[in-house]
Structure 1
Amino acid sequence: MRELTRAELEIMQILWDEKNAFVNDILERMPEPKPAYNTVSTIVRILEKKGAVGHEVLGKSHRYYPLFGREAYTQNLMQGVVRNFFGNSFARMVSFFCEKEHLPVDESEKILQIAQEAIARTKKRTE
Protein backbone atom coordinates (compact mmCIF):
# COMPACT_ATOMS: atom_id res chain seq x y z
CA MET A 1 0.00 0.00 0.00
CA ARG A 2 1.62 3.22 -1.15
CA GLU A 3 1.38 6.53 0.66
CA LEU A 4 -1.16 8.90 -0.86
CA THR A 5 -0.72 12.58 -1.66
CA ARG A 6 -2.98 15.17 -0.03
CA ALA A 7 -5.12 15.41 -3.20
CA GLU A 8 -5.37 11.63 -3.50
CA LEU A 9 -6.29 11.31 0.15
CA GLU A 10 -9.02 13.93 -0.23
CA ILE A 11 -10.61 11.84 -2.99
CA MET A 12 -10.16 8.61 -1.03
CA GLN A 13 -11.95 10.19 1.96
CA ILE A 14 -14.94 10.81 -0.30
CA LEU A 15 -14.85 7.27 -1.73
CA TRP A 16 -14.57 5.77 1.76
CA ASP A 17 -17.61 7.76 2.85
CA GLU A 18 -19.66 7.11 -0.29
CA LYS A 19 -18.48 3.51 -0.94
CA ASN A 20 -18.51 4.24 -4.70
CA ALA A 21 -18.91 7.31 -6.90
CA PHE A 22 -18.63 8.75 -10.37
CA VAL A 23 -16.14 11.58 -10.97
CA ASN A 24 -19.04 14.08 -10.92
CA ASP A 25 -20.15 12.75 -7.52
CA ILE A 26 -16.62 13.16 -6.16
CA LEU A 27 -16.41 16.68 -7.56
CA GLU A 28 -19.73 17.63 -5.91
CA ARG A 29 -18.42 16.60 -2.48
CA MET A 30 -15.17 18.56 -2.79
CA PRO A 31 -14.85 21.91 -1.02
CA GLU A 32 -14.60 25.23 -2.80
CA PRO A 33 -12.69 26.18 -4.81
CA LYS A 34 -13.46 22.99 -6.68
CA PRO A 35 -10.81 21.59 -9.00
CA ALA A 36 -11.55 21.01 -12.67
CA TYR A 37 -13.34 17.81 -13.67
CA ASN A 38 -10.24 16.69 -15.60
CA THR A 39 -8.07 17.18 -12.51
CA VAL A 40 -10.30 14.91 -10.41
CA SER A 41 -10.48 12.37 -13.23
CA THR A 42 -6.69 12.31 -13.52
CA ILE A 43 -6.22 11.84 -9.76
CA VAL A 44 -8.75 8.99 -9.74
CA ARG A 45 -6.85 7.27 -12.58
CA ILE A 46 -3.58 7.72 -10.63
CA LEU A 47 -5.28 6.14 -7.60
CA GLU A 48 -6.32 3.27 -9.82
CA LYS A 49 -2.72 2.76 -11.01
CA LYS A 50 -1.56 2.79 -7.38
CA GLY A 51 -4.02 0.01 -6.57
CA ALA A 52 -6.15 2.16 -4.29
CA VAL A 53 -9.24 2.39 -6.49
CA GLY A 54 -11.12 0.04 -8.78
CA HIS A 55 -13.93 0.76 -11.21
CA GLU A 56 -16.95 -0.76 -12.84
CA VAL A 57 -18.11 0.28 -16.30
CA LEU A 58 -21.68 1.54 -16.50
CA GLY A 59 -22.44 2.51 -20.09
CA LYS A 60 -19.87 5.11 -21.04
CA SER A 61 -19.15 6.00 -17.43
CA HIS A 62 -16.94 4.52 -14.73
CA ARG A 63 -18.02 4.22 -11.14
CA TYR A 64 -15.04 4.11 -8.79
CA TYR A 65 -14.71 2.38 -5.43
CA PRO A 66 -11.91 2.02 -2.85
CA LEU A 67 -9.93 -1.23 -2.83
CA PHE A 68 -9.01 -0.90 0.85
CA GLY A 69 -10.62 0.77 3.83
CA ARG A 70 -9.71 3.89 5.74
CA GLU A 71 -8.65 1.87 8.79
CA ALA A 72 -6.35 -0.40 6.77
CA TYR A 73 -4.71 2.64 5.17
CA THR A 74 -4.32 4.41 8.51
CA GLN A 75 -2.81 1.32 10.12
CA ASN A 76 -0.36 0.85 7.25
CA LEU A 77 0.60 4.53 7.27
CA MET A 78 1.13 4.63 11.03
CA GLN A 79 3.17 1.42 11.00
CA GLY A 80 5.40 3.07 8.40
CA VAL A 81 5.80 6.17 10.54
CA VAL A 82 6.69 4.11 13.61
CA ARG A 83 9.12 1.95 11.59
CA ASN A 84 10.77 4.79 9.64
CA PHE A 85 10.94 7.51 12.29
CA PHE A 86 10.85 5.77 15.66
CA GLY A 87 12.90 2.60 15.17
CA ASN A 88 9.75 0.45 15.19
CA SER A 89 9.07 1.53 18.79
CA PHE A 90 5.62 2.80 19.73
CA ALA A 91 7.07 3.83 23.08
CA ARG A 92 9.55 6.14 21.33
CA MET A 93 6.73 7.62 19.25
CA VAL A 94 4.57 8.32 22.30
CA SER A 95 7.59 9.73 24.12
CA PHE A 96 8.32 12.03 21.18
CA PHE A 97 4.81 13.46 21.21
CA CYS A 98 4.74 13.78 24.98
CA GLU A 99 8.02 15.69 25.01
CA LYS A 100 7.82 17.72 21.80
CA GLU A 101 4.15 18.56 21.72
CA HIS A 102 3.85 19.44 25.39
CA LEU A 103 0.73 17.34 25.81
CA PRO A 104 -1.73 18.58 28.37
CA VAL A 105 -2.12 16.40 31.45
CA ASP A 106 -5.58 15.17 30.38
CA GLU A 107 -4.19 13.95 27.02
CA SER A 108 -1.30 12.19 28.77
CA GLU A 109 -3.77 10.54 31.13
CA LYS A 110 -5.87 9.37 28.17
CA ILE A 111 -2.79 7.80 26.56
CA LEU A 112 -1.96 6.07 29.83
CA GLN A 113 -5.53 4.78 30.17
CA ILE A 114 -5.50 3.42 26.58
CA ALA A 115 -2.20 1.66 27.26
CA GLN A 116 -3.50 0.15 30.50
CA GLU A 117 -6.64 -1.11 28.74
CA ALA A 118 -4.53 -2.66 25.96
CA ILE A 119 -2.35 -4.41 28.55
CA ALA A 120 -5.44 -5.77 30.30
CA ARG A 121 -6.87 -7.10 26.99
CA THR A 122 -3.55 -8.74 26.13
CA LYS A 123 -3.36 -10.40 29.55
CA LYS A 124 -6.90 -11.78 29.16
CA ARG A 125 -6.06 -13.29 25.75
CA THR A 126 -2.95 -15.03 27.10
CA GLU A 127 -4.65 -16.50 30.19
Structure 2
Amino acid sequence: MKNAHVARLDRQLRLHGEPVQLARKVSGVVRHRLNLTGIVKTFAAEQLIGAITQNNYLVILSPTELRKKAFPGAVPATIASGTIPPGDENLPSTADAIIMRGGEKAIGQVSAIYDGDQVVRIEIKVTG
Protein backbone atom coordinates (compact mmCIF):
# COMPACT_ATOMS: atom_id res chain seq x y z
CA MET A 1 0.00 0.00 0.00
CA LYS A 2 1.33 3.41 -1.00
CA ASN A 3 2.08 5.91 1.75
CA ALA A 4 -0.60 8.65 1.90
CA HIS A 5 2.02 11.44 1.89
CA VAL A 6 3.66 10.03 -1.24
CA ALA A 7 0.27 9.60 -2.94
CA ARG A 8 -0.60 13.28 -2.28
CA LEU A 9 2.79 14.46 -3.54
CA ASP A 10 2.52 12.30 -6.69
CA ARG A 11 -0.91 13.81 -7.39
CA GLN A 12 0.38 17.37 -6.92
CA LEU A 13 3.30 16.64 -9.24
CA ARG A 14 0.93 15.35 -11.92
CA LEU A 15 -1.24 18.49 -11.61
CA HIS A 16 1.34 21.22 -11.02
CA GLY A 17 4.80 19.83 -11.73
CA GLU A 18 7.20 20.87 -14.44
CA PRO A 19 9.86 18.88 -16.28
CA VAL A 20 13.29 18.70 -14.67
CA GLN A 21 16.26 16.52 -15.47
CA LEU A 22 18.47 15.03 -12.82
CA ALA A 23 22.05 14.46 -13.95
CA ARG A 24 24.28 11.98 -12.11
CA LYS A 25 27.83 13.29 -12.24
CA VAL A 26 30.98 11.30 -11.53
CA SER A 27 34.17 13.38 -11.31
CA GLY A 28 32.28 16.30 -12.84
CA VAL A 29 31.17 14.33 -15.91
CA VAL A 30 27.48 13.52 -16.51
CA ARG A 31 27.11 9.71 -16.51
CA HIS A 32 23.32 9.41 -16.43
CA ARG A 33 20.30 11.68 -17.03
CA LEU A 34 16.85 11.09 -15.67
CA ASN A 35 13.75 12.98 -16.83
CA LEU A 36 11.46 13.73 -13.89
CA THR A 37 8.62 15.97 -12.83
CA GLY A 38 9.24 18.39 -9.99
CA ILE A 39 7.62 21.28 -8.22
CA VAL A 40 9.98 24.24 -8.55
CA LYS A 41 9.81 27.25 -6.26
CA THR A 42 11.99 30.34 -6.60
CA PHE A 43 12.97 31.49 -3.15
CA ALA A 44 15.75 34.05 -3.64
CA ALA A 45 17.69 35.97 -6.23
CA GLU A 46 21.23 37.15 -5.55
CA GLN A 47 22.86 40.02 -7.39
CA LEU A 48 26.35 38.97 -8.38
CA ILE A 49 28.01 41.71 -10.45
CA GLY A 50 26.12 44.64 -11.94
CA ALA A 51 22.92 43.37 -13.53
CA ILE A 52 23.89 39.69 -13.32
CA THR A 53 21.70 37.77 -10.90
CA GLN A 54 21.64 34.19 -9.72
CA ASN A 55 18.41 32.51 -8.68
CA ASN A 56 17.99 30.03 -5.85
CA TYR A 57 15.31 27.38 -6.19
CA LEU A 58 13.70 24.64 -4.16
CA VAL A 59 12.94 21.56 -6.25
CA ILE A 60 10.56 19.00 -4.76
CA LEU A 61 10.71 15.45 -6.12
CA SER A 62 8.83 12.28 -5.30
CA PRO A 63 10.72 9.12 -4.41
CA THR A 64 8.23 7.26 -6.63
CA GLU A 65 9.83 8.42 -9.90
CA LEU A 66 13.36 7.90 -8.63
CA ARG A 67 12.52 4.32 -7.66
CA LYS A 68 10.66 3.56 -10.91
CA LYS A 69 13.38 5.02 -13.11
CA ALA A 70 16.22 3.60 -10.98
CA PHE A 71 18.48 6.60 -10.48
CA PRO A 72 21.95 5.01 -10.34
CA GLY A 73 24.52 5.23 -7.60
CA ALA A 74 22.46 5.32 -4.45
CA VAL A 75 23.64 7.62 -1.69
CA PRO A 76 23.04 6.24 1.81
CA ALA A 77 20.36 8.24 3.61
CA THR A 78 20.49 8.83 7.35
CA ILE A 79 17.51 8.81 9.70
CA ALA A 80 17.34 9.21 13.46
CA SER A 81 17.41 5.45 14.01
CA GLY A 82 20.50 4.91 11.83
CA THR A 83 21.59 4.66 8.24
CA ILE A 84 19.44 3.17 5.52
CA PRO A 85 21.60 0.77 3.47
CA PRO A 86 22.73 1.97 0.02
CA GLY A 87 20.32 0.91 -2.69
CA ASP A 88 17.18 1.44 -0.61
CA GLU A 89 16.85 5.08 -1.59
CA ASN A 90 18.41 6.51 -4.74
CA LEU A 91 18.97 10.06 -3.56
CA PRO A 92 20.77 12.74 -5.55
CA SER A 93 23.90 14.27 -4.06
CA THR A 94 25.56 17.68 -4.21
CA ALA A 95 27.90 16.27 -6.88
CA ASP A 96 24.90 15.91 -9.23
CA ALA A 97 23.03 18.65 -11.12
CA ILE A 98 19.48 19.57 -12.10
CA ILE A 99 18.70 20.85 -15.59
CA MET A 100 15.59 23.03 -15.60
CA ARG A 101 14.28 26.34 -16.85
CA GLY A 102 16.86 26.57 -19.57
CA GLY A 103 20.04 25.64 -17.78
CA GLU A 104 22.04 23.46 -15.44
CA LYS A 105 21.67 24.25 -11.76
CA ALA A 106 24.12 23.29 -9.03
CA ILE A 107 22.72 21.23 -6.15
CA GLY A 108 23.52 22.85 -2.82
CA GLN A 109 21.58 20.63 -0.43
CA VAL A 110 19.45 17.49 -0.58
CA SER A 111 16.93 16.76 2.17
CA ALA A 112 14.97 13.53 2.39
CA ILE A 113 11.70 13.92 4.31
CA TYR A 114 10.62 10.79 6.16
CA ASP A 115 7.41 9.26 7.47
CA GLY A 116 8.78 6.66 9.85
CA ASP A 117 11.59 5.00 7.92
CA GLN A 118 10.18 5.71 4.45
CA VAL A 119 11.25 8.64 2.28
CA VAL A 120 8.09 10.50 1.27
CA ARG A 121 9.55 13.64 -0.31
CA ILE A 122 12.89 14.90 -1.57
CA GLU A 123 13.71 18.60 -1.33
CA ILE A 124 16.68 19.92 -3.29
CA LYS A 125 18.07 23.44 -3.00
CA VAL A 126 19.69 24.50 -6.27
CA THR A 127 21.45 27.61 -7.53
CA GLY A 128 21.93 28.88 -11.03
Q: What is the TM-score normalised by the length of structure 1?
A: 0.29
Compare CA radii of gyration and give the structure with the larger one. Answer: 1
More helix by share: 1
> What TM-score, normalized to structure 2?
0.29
Structure with greater strand share of residues: 2
